[in-house]
Chain A
Amino acid sequence: MTLLFPFEMIRSELEETVGEHFISVKEADKLVYSTDWSWMPQMWLDRGQRLPTPDYIIHPGSAKEIAEILLIANKYRIPVVPWGGGSGTQGGALPLFGGILVDTKRMDKIIEIDEKSLTVTAQAGINGQQLEWALNEKGLTLPHYAASSNCATLGGYLAPRGTGTISTKYGKAEDMFLCMQIVLPTGEIIRTAHVPKHAAGPDWARLWLGAEGTFGIITEATMQVDYLPEARLLRAVLFDNLSNAIEAGRLMMTRRLEPFVIRLYDPESTRSQVKKVLGYEFDGAYMVIGFDGDPDIAALQEKKALEICASLGARDLGREPGEKWWDHRYDFYYPPKSLHLPWMYGTTETVTTYDRIEKLYWAEKKAVEEGFADWNVKFIGHFSHWFHWGVMVYSRFIIEEPPADAQEALQLHNRVWNAAMTAVLENGGMINEHHGVGLKLGRFMRRQYGDAWPFLLRLKQMIDPNGIMNPGKTGF
């Protein structure tokens, strides 16, 4: 009861800032906001255990209101957790220490669609798919086709440096970013330069890309958009082995054929996931390739890509298995086709250069499969985001019969992650390519960055002197 007094004092101040309709302290709301899309809190609730909940759930309507909320949080030294769509898989939006949860979804306006410069400026809380529909009405697209677009927000695209299905041609969300408005932890509202390519000093705007709310809250962003493609050509090929398939992808990228997608499933994923969702029974490594834009150019690019694949022994499966994959590419994420509780699973995705990727893949697979053979662990993966210099592997582990006890299950989960990330780091990989760090991977940040880590800690201290912003995330 003694805590009720400061709780009520702070609630009154917050209510004065946003209005009574935009603050909730209801238990039902607190439970729903206590979990994001990551396995850890979902498992915890699944086993009937309670999670830390926010004390206040706030729906601000403007950057100014967020600034005032942050001033209140600084005054009382209470945590602030930014919340977009809650679709993160790393626990980045979990209110670990209670405090104020700032749900940005009320800030969902499209401010401008510039059809000459091909940009869109919108508030950060807009739903990704709703933004896409609005752009489609004008023949445009924001080519960040994340599997989470149905639920994620624009701010959530940028804060963890997300990557979408067609990133291989169009880049990561951060590559589409021109500028943004940010509310700093200390309450100042700032804007980055209106164009991203210049030489006016260091590229400080990018500090907020990947900070996952630990450096403040993104409230508005201008993004580069594209015309909807005139043609979208898809087809699939099948390789006998993974090595040749990776080499084919490397050649398509280094020869700049500009595929918008190369989705390569390892033989285990081809046998399990592809069969389960698409119904195909292929033996080998199934690869979907796609080219878009001008129909003549796309057709020529596709022809060249098929020549590369054929030279490496691939069998052309034709258009249907490629088009079917495209039409059902998100079905993998709908239950019961998705991985689901009470199973244990994790996406230990990573990225590195072509010279290291295959070795890394096998090292991670070995570490997980041999280290946790007693649990009948499965290790599957696909290669889905390709760069000129390397590729991301979307590796996953699955344990279908994990411990029933929540604590034991979490301990096992963390041991599997330790083994996987150790293999990744020892083989030149990054601890992830696009899911972000969140709570789950924070403990690996020091090992990831070595001597640079203390510098990042000093940066955090300078930007957020009271440490109120999303504590416990990204290693801070």
Chain B
Amino acid sequence: MDVLPTTEYCRYCLMCRHVCPVGHVTRLETLTPHGWGLTIASVKRGLLTWNDETVDVLYSCADCGLCRANCATDQPLPDAIAAARAEVTAQQLAPAIVYEIGEMLKQYENPYVKQTPEKVTGTGAVALFVGDEAAHRWSEGMSAARRLIQATGVIPIEVGIGRNNGYLASSLGFPETGRILAQATLDELRASGARKLLVLSPGDYFAFNQHLIERLGLTWPEEVELVELTTYLYEHFKAGRLTITPLEDTTSYAYVDPAHAARVPTGRAAARAVLKAVLPSPARELFWRGERAHPAGSAALQFTQPQLADRLTFARLDDTVKSGARVAITEDAGTLYQLNRHAARFGVRVQGLYELLAENIQ
């Protein structure tokens, strides 16, 4: 995909500034979609060069997709930024941490542990993509997800256990590594014979539904239906095939839209609906929700700009406190991990959605 015209358009368009999470926490013009577009376009014109300063700007984008989700003409600026990062990594100009994480992804298929993914065995109609964050960042959610799926009478074949879905690699500027990782999961999926792939988060849904095709140039197998687990659970709940006992406590919960929420066309209605089934009163809503849902600092930013990632995490926790809630609940492992690192200082408890549901299966 030729993403060059995108930076030519975005360099002088300010129409998504209001939703950019990085621009919001830094208040810096440079760290907004317009700033990234103009920086890339200016390098192409010889007005700037890629150096420590400009590369730092390039790696400050959270690649959360909110700019594109709120663009009336669907400009793929995150893809253009990823393409610029690929140029920078190829020229050996990226920060050292980028190459370290790139090497981990190449060798171990995840950025967290020096351990290669488990081999997939067996075949079945339904597969579940585990990924690296659920395996290494918030494994409680994974166990709960298994119990919930089993409660619907299905034992899924687990694929991509501990493997990155390819998005992190492409976001850092290693599209080829991203292709290898995504292809490895596609191969496992094909071998499993599954016709439905369940994913645990909107990030995984985006990775296979859009990123795989648009950024990596791969093809999704037409015969396989991609479904978010929250959607799957809600459908079973609605049909009476899954029964949840409502909680009786009066704790106030707030639903935190996970990273990449705005990149999923169906939004978070199913997640909110299953949450409603288990809570005695509706979950509080954050100010930054739905189409303007800011991420909590997971994904590439936690490695390339850890302080900036933390500021996004603080902002989500602050948003939770302002909503009047004392528990932040969500389903995405990366978001849960980030929130949990700093939750105590905000007096907030972090709760995985799948764990809460699994604990209350009738």
Contact = CB atoms under 8 A, between A and B. Distances in A.
A145 to B, nearest CB: 13
Contact of A59 (B5, B24, B28, B39): B28
B16 interface: yes
B14 interface: yes
Interface string A114-141: 0000000000010111100110010000
25 contacts: A24-B28, A27-B48, A27-B53, A28-B56, A29-B30, A31-B39, A32-B35, A33-B29, A35-B38, A45-B42, A45-B45, A45-B47, A50-B47, A87-B14, A103-B28, A105-B27, A125-B27, A129-B18, A133-B292, A134-B287, A137-B287, A148-B14, A149-B18, A335-B73, A337-B73
B191 interface: no
Contact of A336 (B9, B27, B34, B39): B9
A37 interface: yes
B57 interface: yes
Contact of B48 (A24, A28, A340): A28
B73 A336 contact: yes
B255 to A, nearest CB: 16
B239 interface: no
Interface string B39-77: 100100111100001101100000000000001110100
B97 interface: no
Contacts of A24: 28
A42 B42 contact: no
Contact of B30 (A28, A42, A133): A28
B12 interface: yes
Given A33-B29, A150-B16, A335 B48 contact: no
A105 B10 CA distance: 21
A148 B16 CA distance: 10
Interface in A144-170: 148-151
B13 interface: yes
Nearest to A137: B287
Contacts of A33: 29-30
A455 interface: no
Interface residues of B, number: 35
B18 A151 contact: yes
B223 to A, nearest CB: 36
Interface residues of A, number: 47
A86 B29 contact: yes
A35 B47 CA distance: 13
Interface stretch (A200-208, A288-296, A325-333): A325-333
A142 B29 CA distance: 25
Interface string A274-297: 000000000000000000000000
A26 interface: yes
A127 B75 contact: no
Contacts of B46: 48
Nearest to A27: B53
A33 to B, nearest CB: 6
Interface string B9-25: 11011111110000010
B30 A32 contact: yes
A29 B28 contact: yes
Nearest to A341: B12
A127 B47 contact: no
With most chain B CB atoms within 10 A of its CB, the pick from A29, A35, A108, A134 is: A29
Contacts, number: 109
Interface of A: 24, 26-29, 31-33, 35, 37, 42, 45-46, 48, 50, 59, 83, 85-87, 103, 105-106, 108, 125, 127-130, 133-134, 137, 148-151, 328, 330-331, 333-338, 340-341
Contacts of A28: 30, 39, 48, 53-54, 56-57
Interface string B164-184: 000000000000000000000
Given A32-B29, A129-B18, A328-B72, A37 B12 contact: yes
Given A33-B30, A149-B18, 10 more contacts: A26-B53, A27-B53, A31-B42, A31-B48, A37-B12, A50-B47, A103-B28, A128-B18, A133-B287, A337-B72
A335 B75 contact: yes
Which 5 residue pairs of A and B lie closest in terms of their CB atoms, listed nearest first? A151-B14, A335-B9, A105-B27, A129-B18, A151-B17
Nearest to B45: A48
Nearest to A337: B73
Contacts of A341: 8, 12
A149 B17 CA distance: 10
Nearest to A87: B14
Contact of A338 (B13, B24, B42, B45): B13
A48 B45 CA distance: 5
Contacts of A37: 12, 14
Contacts of B28: 24, 29, 59, 103
A106 B23 CA distance: 11
A77 B14 CA distance: 32
Contact of B18 (A32, A42, A130): A130
A205 B18 CA distance: 29
A85 B12 contact: no
A341 B7 CA distance: 12
A127 B38 contact: no
A71 B9 CA distance: 40
B72 A331 contact: yes
A133 B30 CA distance: 24
Given A59-B28, A86-B29, A335-B75, A31 B47 contact: yes
Contacts of B39: 28, 31-32
Contacts of A150: 14-18
Contact of A86 (B14, B27, B42): B14
A301 B27 CA distance: 43
B30 A103 contact: no
Contact of B15 (A26, A108, A330): A330
A28 B40 CA distance: 11
B50 to A, nearest CB: 10
Interface string B189-206: 000000000000000000
A409 to B, nearest CB: 15
A125 B27 CA distance: 10
Contacts of B30: 26, 28-29, 32-33
A335 B13 contact: yes
A29 B29 contact: yes
Contact of B73 (A31, A35, A134, A334): A334
A59 B30 CA distance: 13
Contacts of B38: 31-32, 35, 45
A333 to B, nearest CB: 6
